Every structure is written in C-alpha cells, then in structure tokens.
C-alpha cells in the first residue's frame, strides 16, 4: 500500500490512539483480509492485512504494507534490497475507503482462533507495533504484507500447542511460475523479472513459500485446518466474505508491448546485417547503439547479482548474453586500431551466447521466449562482425 508522508503520519497517530483502546478489552476477533489486484505493477499479487474487532466494538486493521515513494533514493534502495516497510494500525472504515477509491475488492476470512490464541496474536501484533519494531526490511518473497500475517497466525497457534494443516493439492509450481500467473496481463513487467531474477525462483516451491502472494494466501487459508494439541481439528477460517466488490476489472499493461520492441530489435538486426554483408562493412553506429542497450541491461543484471541484497537475483545465467562488457563496443568501435579488439571480443561473445542457447535444457533457470529472439539477434550481429573482420586472424608476415 502506497502512502505519502501525510498518510504515514495519519496511520502512526491512529495507531497510537487506537492501540491502547484495543488492549483494554478481552480476546479480539481476528480476520484475514485480502485485497484484489490493483492497476500498478506492485499491486498485482494483491494485498493482505489482519482485521481486529474488540469486545468493545473497535474495528481495526493491522497492515504491514506501508511504504512511501517519496523516501530519499527509494528506487535505488528498492533495487538494492534495502527498502523499509512499516506496520500501521487504522480503522476498518479508513481501510475500506482506501480500496473503494481504487475499485479493488476486499474479502474477509474470520479466523477460528481460541481466546488464548487470539490473545497471543494480539500480543505479537502489539509487540510489532512498538516504535522500535514498526519498520522492517521488506523482502518481496520472504518478508512482506502476506508472510507477516501468516507468521502471526502460526506463532499464535504454536503458543497453544496447535499447528496448521493444509488440505490443498500440492501442484508442482515455482515462484517464477506463480509470478507469471499474476503478471499475465503485464508481459513487460514479467520480462523484467525474468531478466533480473535468477535460478533461485525456479526451484519447486512449497505451499508455504507460494504464500508470498496475498492472493495465494487467501486460497491457502481457505484450505487450511487447525490441529489442536489434543488432536481436535477445526477449519482455520469460518468462510470467505466479500466486503467490497471489484470495480477495476482485469488490470492490463499500458504502452508499447514488449514483443513489439523485441521484434523491432530483431528486424533491424537482420536488415542491418544483410546490408553490412552486401557492403562488406560494419555499420558502426548501429552496433554502438545495439551493444549499448545490451550493455546497460547487463549492468543492471550485474548490479543485482553482485551488489544487491536480493537473494533471488543470483546466480543468473542471463549475464552470459546481457553482458556489461558490451559497453566496451560503443567506446572503441570507432577506432581502426581497436578493430581486432572488438573482433576477439565478439568471438568470446558469440561463444557465450551459443552456450546459453544450446545449454537451456541443462540450466535450472527458466527463460523468457523473447530472450531467444534477443540472443539470436546478438548472435547474428556478432557473427557478421567476425565474418567481415576475419582478416584479424591473419598472422603478420615475417
């Protein structure tokens, strides 16, 4: 959930005012709230929160998804894996009003917790709401607005000797597979994820790991049961109820489709290569532009692999073709004395992308079909440069 500074202050003040009221009453009634997908990329998996209704009638929402785009260096810190989110407490009315404006649905699943389990959940929430604990280092897959409520529920049950049992078909799936399902109408966004996230998200994921997505957590909760210490079993939830209906429809990506851009790159590569072979001369300005794009993509991937704290970005075999060293070409291709340097670089580049293409069945990293087109275009330009400058292989005569 995105908020500006004024909204963040409002949530903090609300939390201070309402927290004391919530702790004065007996065991609260706690529900899992799920918000439907929004129109922004970061909203495609939905959103989760916990609803707390006290015996005194206070209707509160605990929300772990508060962040502010206006935070200094937000984009850099997000890419580097240093984004801080925070927990907030608000009234249910404010929560519903926020998503009513956005046209997103809100569903509620009341939890079948015993008074002792509900009290323990409230104690954990109160501890999390303390000023020193309110902020946390956000992790897209491991620590977010969905994993935090689930952890609260599991810990509350554990304090009473109970645990969760999920009666849900364990269909083979990976984290990347889950993402592709939620990003079906945002192919450019998924293309970015497939470029920047490595093989770590291609391992088979457990049901618990797939619950990083609020929309999946809703399904998981509906299919879960609580096994008490004495062996008695009860459903985790008492049903699913719609509080707000969807008015947004299926969000979709705007702008030029990713496949059009990739197709343009491939088409120009073919046409320029045909022209260069006929002219027997490399079009330097085109290769400078072409490899500047690939080098910049490689710089992003390299940053995420070697600098970022995101564990899901490494290892990443896309570095074999999205290579930051490609930025050398726009710098030196203009100089005749550097022609053979570019020649030998292209031999190495051709070998790497050939390994990437032929080794796909052996790599444990799922690729995006559009990458095949980009890599093939790179191979074509690399091969044409090697062919047109093959004289670099001639040994100088004694």
Q: Could you tell me the pLDDT band of residue 26, with boundaries at 50, 70 and 90?
A: low
- Listing DSSP states for 111-134 in one string gives B---HHHHHHHHHHHHHHTSTTTS
- Per-residue pLDDT at 398 exceeds 70: no
| Domains recognised in the chain with CATH numbers | 5-170+206-244 (3.90.1720), 258-393 (no CATH)
Query: Residue 280: is its pLDDT beyond 80?
Result: yes
Task: Supply 3's token pair.
Answer: 């908020």
pLDDT at 13 > cutoff 60: no
State the pLDDT at residue 69.
67
DSSP 240-294: -EEEE---S-S----SS-HHHHHHHHHHHHHHHHHHHHHHTS--HHHHHHHHHHH
pLDDT the model gives residue 60: 95
Task: Give 4's pLDDT tier (boundaries 50, 70, 90).
Answer: very low
Least confident of 9-23, 55-69, 292-306, 353-367: 9-23
Q: How far is Cα 48 from Cα 126, in angstroms, rounded to an integer?
A: 18
Beta strands in 17-147 (DSSP E): 29-35, 47-53, 59-66, 84-91, 106-110, 135-137
- Residue 12 predicted with pLDDT over 80: no
Q: Which pLDDT belongs to residue 167?
A: 83
pLDDT at res. 74 = 66
Higher pLDDT, 10 or 234: 234
For residue 25, the model assigns a pLDDT of 44
Is 378 a residue whose pLDDT tops 60? yes
Percentage of residues of the chain with pLDDT beyond 90: 75
| Structure confidence by residue, pLDDT tens digits, 103-141 | 999 999 999 999 999 999 999 999 999 999 999 888 889
Chain center to CA of 325: 27
The C-alpha atoms of residue 43 and residue 57 are separated, in whole angstroms, by 31
CA distance linking residue 217 with residue 111, whole number of Å: 13
Which strands sit side by side in the sheet containing 233-235, from one edge to the other?
163-166, 224-227, 233-235
Written as six digits, the tokens of 341 are 């340097």
Q: Quick one: 206 exposed, middle or buried, by C-beta within 10 A (0-12, 13-18, 19+)? A: exposed
Cα separation, 197 vs 175, in Å, equals 11
Average pLDDT, the chain: 89
- Which is more confident, 162 or 169? 162
Q: When comparing pLDDT for 10 and 262, which is higher?
A: 262
pLDDT tens, position by position, 190-213: 999 999 999 999 999 999 999 999
Which pLDDT band holds residue 24 (cuts at 50, 70, 90)?
very low
Region 6-23: mean pLDDT is 44
């Amino acid at each position: 959930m995105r908020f500006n500074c004024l909204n963040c202050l409002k949530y903090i003040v609300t939390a201070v005012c309402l927290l004391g009221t919530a702790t004065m009453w007996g065991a609260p009634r706690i529900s899992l709230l799920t918000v439907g997908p929004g129109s922004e990329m970061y909203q495609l998996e939905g959103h989760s929160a916990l609803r707390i209704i006290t015996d005194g009638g206070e209707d509160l929402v605990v929300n772990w998804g508060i962040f502010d785009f206006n935070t200094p260096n937000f984009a850099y810190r997000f890419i580097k894996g240093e984004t801080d989110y925070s927990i907030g407490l608000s009234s249910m009315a404010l929560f519903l009003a926020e998503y009513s404006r956005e046209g997103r649905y809100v569903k509620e699943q009341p939890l079948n917790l015993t008074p002792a389990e509900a009290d323990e959940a409230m104690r954990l929430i109160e501890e999390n709401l303390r000023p020193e604990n309110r902020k946390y280092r956000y992790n897209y897959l491991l620590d977010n607005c969905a994993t935090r409520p689930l952890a609260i529920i599991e810990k509350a049950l554990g304090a009473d000797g109970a645990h969760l049992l999920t009666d849900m078909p364990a269909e083979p799936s990976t984290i990347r597979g889950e993402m592709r399902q939620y990003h079906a109408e945002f192919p450019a966004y998924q293309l970015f994820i497939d470029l920047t996230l490595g093989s770590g998200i291609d391992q088979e994921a457990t049901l618990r790991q797939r619950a990083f997505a609020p929309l999946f957590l809703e399904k998981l909760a509906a299919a879960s049961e609580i096994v008490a210490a004495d062996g008695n079993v009860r459903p985790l939830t008492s049903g699913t109820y719609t509080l707000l209906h969807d008015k947004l429809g299926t969000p979709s990506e705007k702008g030029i489709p990713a496949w059009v851009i990739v197709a343009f790159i491939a088409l120009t590569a073919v046409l320029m290569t045909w022209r260069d072979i006929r002219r027997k001369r490399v079009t330097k300005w085109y290769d400078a532009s072409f490899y500047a794009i690939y080098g910049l993509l490689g710089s992003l991937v390299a940053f995420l692999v070697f600098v970022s704290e995101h564990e899901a970005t490494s290892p990443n075999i896309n570095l074999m073709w999205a290579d930051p060293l490609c930025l050398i070409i726009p710098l030196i291709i203009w100089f005749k004395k550097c022609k053979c340097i570019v020649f030998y670089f292209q031999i190495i580049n051709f070998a790497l992308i050939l390994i990437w293409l032929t080794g796909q069945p052996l790599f444990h990293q799922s690729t995006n079909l559009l990458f095949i087109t980009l890599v093939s275009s790179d191979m074509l330009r690399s091969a044409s440069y090697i062919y047109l400058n093959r004289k670099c292989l001639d040994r100088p005569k004694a």
